[in-house]
A = this chain, B = another copy of it.
Amino acid sequence: MPHALVLRRRVQFYETDAAGIVHFSTFFRYMEEAEHALWRENGISIFPAQPTHGWPRVAASFDYRRPLRFEDEFEIHLEVTRISTRSLTYGCRMIARGDLVAAGSMTIACIQRDGEHGMRAVPIPEAIVALFSPSSPEASADKPASPAASADKLVPPLAKADERA
């Protein structure tokens, strides 16, 4: 039941732009690729053939430090940094040749369909909370000390760490 994952990836040509580097919007696709790989590692799909829940993104951000170029190899370090009742936050770092390339975060909500095009936020199923909850002591060091303080206020620890850097 991993709550974190490292994905190795190579930059594809169609991910670059005329400035010769990976387009900044592509990093969000990389982060999502790692997210879906993490769900598969836990034996589930975020978008199965008969979905009972949906997982729309409610926030996403990246800070960029270094460019990536065509054929660069890099690692996507993704971890679940926070689970609240109705949402889940990931922290993400891209690393190439040992250097930080970009750090980001993404928060997704748990929803169910409500009529034709409606959707309403619902609690994340217990089984999924269990899959993504960090169980090791190091991992829990990333979590807010007081559960009360964290209720539905989404603070990505990775982003915080970056501010110190």
Contact = CB atoms under 8 A, between A and B. Distances in A.
Given A14-B17, A17-B17, A36-B13, A70 B56 contact: no
Chain A interface residue bracket vs B: 35 or more
A29 interface: yes
A57 B116 CA distance: 27
Contacts of A24: 28, 32, 57, 60
A49 interface: yes
B18 A16 contact: yes
Given A17-B13, A59-B61, A69-B18, A28 B25 contact: yes
A91 B26 CA distance: 20
Contacts of A62: 59-61
